[in-house]
Chains A and B, each alone.
Chain A
Amino acid sequence: MSRRWFVRRRVGFGVRPVTWQGWAITAVALGLMVVALLVVRRPLGAPSVLVIAAVYVAVGYATGGRSRPGASPAPPESSGLPARGTPDAPTPVAPATLARVAREATSRAGDLAGRDAAIEVVGLTKCFGERDAFRDVSFRVAVGEVFGFLGPNGAGKTTLVRTLSTLLAPTSGSATVAGLSLGEDHGEAIRQRIAVMTESPGLYGRLSVRENLEFFAGLYQMSDARVRIDRALESVNLAGRAGDPCASLSKGLRQRVGLARTLLNDPAIIFLDEPTSGLDPVATREVLELIGGLRERGVTIFLTTHRLDEAERLCDRVAILNTTLRIVGDTDELRRQLFERSLEVATATPLADPAALFTAIPGVGSWRASGDGRYVLETTEPRETAPRVARALVAAGADVESLAESRHSLEDVYLQLIDDDTGVSA
């Protein structure tokens, strides 16, 4: 549908220009009125102005005045809005469209395949005056990896993201982001290849969702902005809300708009700074599904978060930062590094002589009682030792309630490291 040059006012009567053609006609009409007043002297001056005004209004009504361009269309019935009675109720992610966006982002990421490190950080330090935000940080993120960055408040996570996204200059050390080294010369090129979603989505509340995205598409100088915006909105299932002012959206929906913004330029790396901060569980799940969709397609994601469960669920590897980098690895590796592997045994009644029983089992290093009929056996090979333990218990006449390998969560790992730091600093 072609745009109208004028639209009818929502309040009062008359029309107003909305396109450059409308504004041009308005400017010409005003100019003619001024000329009429100056050139056509009394008594014909005022009637001339009235005639011009009448012609202007007629043109306004003839070229518009019946509809408002850009008004948000009604959400389509197939938009997936669940029948919960609230306009902000979360909608399921459209997997097909998300996959398409992700594939394109992956192809962009594929440009880095030859280098195979999306981010490489060596001895990076950032100081504000005498205070270290982070110090001597080194790590590497492979292309297509989802890398989780954990740490307590004030650990330097956000400062590190800002540094890697060229907002802050490092005090010392070096880093390569999307194949380019950090530095004044590469700032613009790096920012062209990455996208950052800050903790607060940072949207202009009075502008509509589409207008917000149009602004950012303009900053990336996209010639096919309309197509990309439509695609990004579709991928976060917000196509039906494109005309809504951002201020009218719930926090969860605003996060989704923020995520759509990061998809606009098909970035090689997406930095997500606390993307689920302050969201309710349903909105959190929606955002995590979107991130998970990108993960499955191999987009490099650098995720900072407080939420250990989401890091464990989404990330290939995690790093824990507390001014200095405490540890990097996948969660299983971190568990192995920090905790002895062990078996947990529960019996109906306490064993008569547990020491004699457990020390005789090959593979059991040491043991301790953790309660009535509860024992923890340290072992390097839980899978091989467990059957031996079971046989020994049955042979000793014990009623076995359970026998399982101890699982330490990422939370255990995190708390262990942070507790260590607290102990050191105390």
Chain B
Amino acid sequence: MTSLSGARIRAVLVKEFRQYRRNKFILYTMVVLPVLFLVAPITTILNLPSTAPEVRVRAAVGSIFLLMLLIPVIVPVAISAYSVIGERDQGTLEPVLTTPIRREELVLGKALASIIPGVALSYLLFAVIMTVLRVVGHPNVVHALWQGSWLVAEVLFAPLLAAWSTWIGTAISARSSDVRVAQQLGTLASLPALAVTSLMTFQVLSPTVPVALIVAGVLVVIDVAALRVVSRLFDRERLITGARATRAAAPPPHDS
């Protein structure tokens, strides 16, 4: 198998980003929820008294991380759920499929266009929260936040969760016949991935660096498997007609 073309993946990515830029509605819906997520944890932490017990502080910090990890789940799935069915509705999918682009290149281009905004927003908000709390937070809260395990978890989990929700959204989009259904189903179907990370945020698993790395490893395995499944769904015939190709077992001979 020859290697994938970075130029084609980039072409898809650039096209998707241009479309986001031109569609303010997409940008606003991308940003509104994360901004709300920004307000809630900061308020919670700032309202913690300096004498709050450690258990309470840890619980508050855990809930902050859960919110931060919701962003890379929710933002990409909303975008990716539209990626195939939206293009099919607009009539733009077929011309793309008549070009030499491979299905893996199309999948990766569209996936990156969903993953990058989700991860970027997640990192940005995380940086803002950490900065604000570092500047104005109580020392015991700052100490609980600035733990290596949480930093590793945020850095690793955000892209992995974003990838998972992107695969789910894309798979549903490729099989769906309605954009709204695809987006609703996609959001619901991507939430179970949070269960893995919730084990850490709710202190079921002790939030240490090794545990974060193990959980990240599990997510990597899930993501790779999902990528393979989604790539198969990007069969041209399936995308055009909604059904898989059927070839006769033994084509009849023809006089030439």
A residues neighboring B (CB under 8 Å): 34, 37-38, 42, 45, 122-123, 125, 127-129, 138, 162, 165-174, 187-189, 191-192, 194-196, 198, 200-207, 211, 214-221, 245, 258, 261
Instruction: Report if B221 contacts A (CB, 8 A).
Output: no
**B92 CB–A CB distance under 8 Å:** yes
Q: Is residue B14 within 8 Å, beta carbon to beta carbon, of the partner chain?
A: yes
User: Contacts A127-B246, A167-B97, A188-B102 given: A218-B240 contact, CB under 8 Å?
Assistant: no
CA distance A173 to B248 in the complex (A): 9
Contact A221 B7, beta carbon cutoff 8 Å: yes
Contact A198 B95 (CB under 8 A): yes
**Contact status B246-A171, CB under 8 Å:** yes
A167 close to B14 (CB less than 8 A) = no
Contact between A221 and B5 (Cβ–Cβ < 8 Å)? Answer: yes
Q: Is B54 an interface residue (CB 8 A)?
A: no
| Given contact pairs A38-B131, A219-B100, A123 touches B254 in the complex (Cβ within 8 A) | yes
**In the complex, A220 Cα to B127 Cα: how many Å?**
39
From residue A160, how far is it (CB to closest CB) to chain B in Å?
Answer: 14
**A180 to B: closest C-beta gap in Å:** 12
Q: Are B94 and A168 in contact (CB under 8 A)?
A: no
Contact A220:B252 (CB < 8 A) given known A167-B237, A168-B237, A215-B11? no
- How far apart sit A188 and B5, CA to CA, in the bound complex (Å)? 12
From B12, B91, B236, B241, contact of A198 by CB (8 A): B91
Q: Is B245 an interface residue (CB 8 A)?
A: yes
Which residue of chain B lies nearest to A33 when distances are taken between CB atoms in the complex? B131
Kindly identify which residue among A173, A189, A200, A219 contacts B8, using a CB–CB cutoff of 8 Å. Answer: A219
Select one of A162, A170, A203 contacting B92, CB under 8 A.
A203
Residues of B within 8 A of A129 (CB): 243, 246
B135 touching A37, Cβ below 8 Å? yes
Chain B residues at the A interface, C-beta cutoff of 8 Å: 5, 7-8, 10-12, 14-15, 18-19, 22-23, 90-102, 127, 131, 134-135, 236-237, 240-241, 243, 245-248, 251-252, 254, 256
Name the residue on B nearest A216 (C-beta): B99
Q: How far is the CB of A45 from chain B (nearest CB, A)?
A: 7
Contact flag A218-B18 (CB < 8 Å), given A191-B100, A202-B90: no
Note all chain A residues with C-beta closer than 8 A to B11: 214-215, 217-219
Q: Are B252 and A218 in contact (CB under 8 A)?
A: no
Q: Which residues from chain A contact B127 at a C-beta distance below 8 Å? A: 34
Of all chain A residues, the one with the shortest Cβ separation from B22 is A206
B residues less than 8 Å from A162 (CB atoms) = 94, 240
13 contacts between A and B (CB under 8 A): A166-B236, A168-B237, A172-B247, A191-B100, A196-B94, A198-B94, A202-B94, A204-B90, A206-B23, A207-B22, A217-B11, A219-B11, A219-B12
List the B residue with the shortest CB-CB distance to A163.
B237
Q: Could you tell me if A172 and B237 are in contact, using CB atoms closer than 8 angstroms? A: no
Closest 7 A/B residue pairs (Cβ):
A218-B11, A169-B245, A172-B251, A206-B22, A123-B254, A202-B95, A196-B98
Query: Min CB distance, B23 to chain A, in Å?
Result: 6
Q: Which residues of A contact B100 (CB under 8 A)?
A: 188-189, 191-192, 219-221
Q: CA separation between A192 and B102, bound complex, in Å?
A: 12
> Binding site of A, secondary structure by majority: helix, strand, loop or mixed?
mixed
Determine if B101 and A219 form an interchain contact, defined as CB atoms under 8 angstroms apart: yes
Query: Which partner residue on chain A sits nearest B246 by CB separation?
Result: A171
Q: A167-B240, A168-B241, A219-B96 are in contact. Are A123 and B252 (CB under 8 A)?
A: yes
In Å, the complex CA distance between A215 and B9 comes to 11
Residues of A close to B22: CB separation below 8 A: 206-207, 245
Q: Which of B10, B19, B94, B101 meets A167, CB within 8 Å?
A: B94
Q: Are B256 and A167 in contact (CB under 8 A)?
A: no
Residues of B within 8 A of A198 (CB): 91, 94-95, 98
Inside 8 A of A45's CB, which chain B residues have their CB?
135
Q: Which residues of B sit under 8 angstroms from A194, Cβ to Cβ?
A: 98
Question: Which residues of the other chain, B, contact A216 by a CB distance below 8 angstroms?
Answer: 95, 99
Give the shortest distance, in Å, between B175 (CB) and chain A (any CB).
17
Q: A168-B245, A188-B102 are in contact. List 14 more A-B contacts (CB 8 A).
A: A42-B135, A168-B236, A170-B247, A173-B254, A174-B254, A187-B236, A195-B98, A196-B95, A198-B95, A204-B92, A207-B15, A211-B15, A215-B15, A219-B96
Measured in the bound complex, the distance between the Cα atoms of B243 and A207 in whole Å is 30
Report the bound CA distance from A165 to B90 in whole Å.
Answer: 20
Docked pose: A122 CA to B127 CA in angstroms: 63
Residues of A within 8 A of B248 (CB): 125, 171-172
Distance in angstroms from B239 CB to nearest chain A CB is: 9
A204 contacts B15, C-beta separation under 8 Å: yes
Contact pick for A169, options B90, B247, B256, CB 8 Å: B247
Question: Taking A167-B237, A207-B19, A220-B100 as contacts, is the C-beta distance between A172 and B252 under 8 angstroms?
Answer: yes
List, in ascending order, chain A residues with CB within 8 A of B10's CB. 218
Closest to B237 in A: A168
Name the A residues within 8 Å of B247 (CB-CB): 169-172
Inside 8 A of B8's CB, which chain A residues have their CB? 218-219, 221
B9 to chain A, nearest CB (A): 9
Chain B residues with CB under 8 A of A122: 254, 256
Docked complex Cα distance between A79 and B256 (Å): 51
